[in-house]
Amino acid sequence: MSRSRYVVLISGILFAAVFTVAESQAATCQSLSTLKLADTVITIAQPIAAGEFTPARNGSKPVPVAFCRVAGKIKPTSDSDIGFELWLPASGWTGRYESVGNGGFAGSIRYDSMLNPLLAGTAVASTDDGHSGGGSAWALGHPEKIIDYGYRAVHLTAEIAKAITTAFYETTPHHSYFVGCSKGGQEALMEAQRYPGDFDGILGAANANQWTALFSSFAWNQKLNQAEKAGYISPVELEKIGAATLAACDASDGVKDGLVSDPLRCSVSSAALSLSAAQTKTFEAIHSGPKNSSGKTIHSGQPFGLEHISWRNSITGPSFEEASARSSQTMYANGFFANFVYGDPNWTFRQFDVNKSPADAEKAVGHILNSDKLDFSEFKKRGGKLMQWHGWADSLVTPLGSIDYYKKVMAAQEVPSKTQDFYRLFMAPGVDHCGGGPGPNQFGQAGGNGDPEHDIVAALYQWVEKGIAPGKVTATRYVDNDPAKGVAMTRPLCPYPQVAKYKGSGDTNAAANFVCAAP
């Protein structure tokens, strides 16, 4: 065995990592436990044989390849407890490093997002964002944990994980990436804005980057929809809405297939919905988005199309009586304002004041959680590439918010027409929050181990490493969402503002017969 010393540069500070290197891969992995890194304790440094480790999350199957598993804690403050995990391919490392984002209120390592990058030969890390377990009660009275959750955990995990990767392979990663959805989308844009040197390529989806405005919209939607039973939109009304919307807008792309491919050009007359006056008022208001008493828009509303699928769980709930307990927007609104903003665990959306609460949220945590700045100059200067996608059937984080933000970024550029030189947005028809939905919903969202035409993460790798910008990504819907049963449909996802249009001949379920074109 030989004794080696690696010096790693982290945030301008040199940290010496001294450990013993053995002939075997196993000893080298185990020796990572002796690395000395700032505010960090490594708790696991374990070689894992193929099939030996089964992650706990989502009933995952055993990991089919060998890797070095490293886990630890980062404690930048006395109230911090940032958990992280890093998987290092035992063989075939591509030279890439990737961080994966979290979701919701976080609290766990995202093993589900780590698998595909590992299979692609990428060193991949995840963080719990500074706390363990679901819910948001952890934030009450813990301002440092809120900072960890807002941006510090992802940044420090990237620094520490890259230092460990460098020590393990005795060379620095040649490119670094970040991939995340929802809260991970907020993290994606936060990294590009606040820490432009952390990653060369960033992919964010369903980006919850306009955090305080988004959570204000949750509270506003629920207060509106649950104000009185007469105005509540139930699953029965949602079916009426869905039928009317599809009848009006389904064929806008030249094909009638049960999908509204371009909701921006879809609207439905309230008269066609057979709703009561009170329900119509609710329906129109949710589509318009929250406004204060002076008419100022707080956040984007909901698009038309597939309300009967996506509103059911996120906005309306199964019934008026159960909505406050089962709607995901209710859960997020209550948890955020109670524990992050007002410090009152008994606060509920019924106390939301559209003229006051959004400003209260902005003042309390906007500077920590909002990643809505428009300046990407440093990220661009480094040659960074930013990709974003959003499902059109996502009613938790409205896709109109992503389009609104993209337009603002474009308008802020010195040459707006060159925005797509570094930043591209892809809209996915019929796709729900971070995946699922009735549309073509598989395109490598947590990928990296596919080809760039069908795997959006691989498309990001290609853009960064070869300079080939993604002109489209082909999305697939499998029969019963089961790849073993075969392909039901493929469609191209196009860089906004382009949309997929049918060429006029050929199989309407084949992406080859569609072209990305101006709407």
- Looking from the CA of 57 toward its CB, the CA atoms found within 13 Å total 16
CA proximity to 388, closest of 429, 423, 431, 430: 423
Residue 176: which region, alpha, beta or left (left: phi > 0; alpha: psi -120 to 50)? Answer: beta
Q: How far apart are CA 98 and CA 199, in angstroms?
A: 8
Beta strands 487-493 and 96-100: pairing type? unpaired
Alpha-carbon torsion (401, 405, 406, 407), positive or negative: positive
List phi, psi (to 5°) of 159. Answer: -65, -50
Biggest CA pair distance of the chain? 79
CA proximity to 43, closest of 35, 54, 51: 35
Q: Name the 3-class secondary structure at 401.
A: helix
Q: How far apart are CA 478 and CA 464, in angstroms?
A: 30
- The catalytic position among 136, 433, 454, 455 is 433
Say whether the peptide bond before residue 497 is cis (omega within 30 degrees of 0): yes
- The catalytic position among 257, 394, 432, 455 is 394
Q: How far apart are CA 257 and CA 259, in angstroms?
A: 6
- Cβ(65)–Cβ(47) under 8 Å? no
- Cβ(249)–Cβ(258) under 8 Å? no
21: β partners: 2
Is 433 a known active-site residue? yes
- The catalytic position among 126, 136, 182, 310 is 182
CA proximity to 99, closest of 74, 75, 139, 129: 129
Residues designated as active site: 182, 394, 433
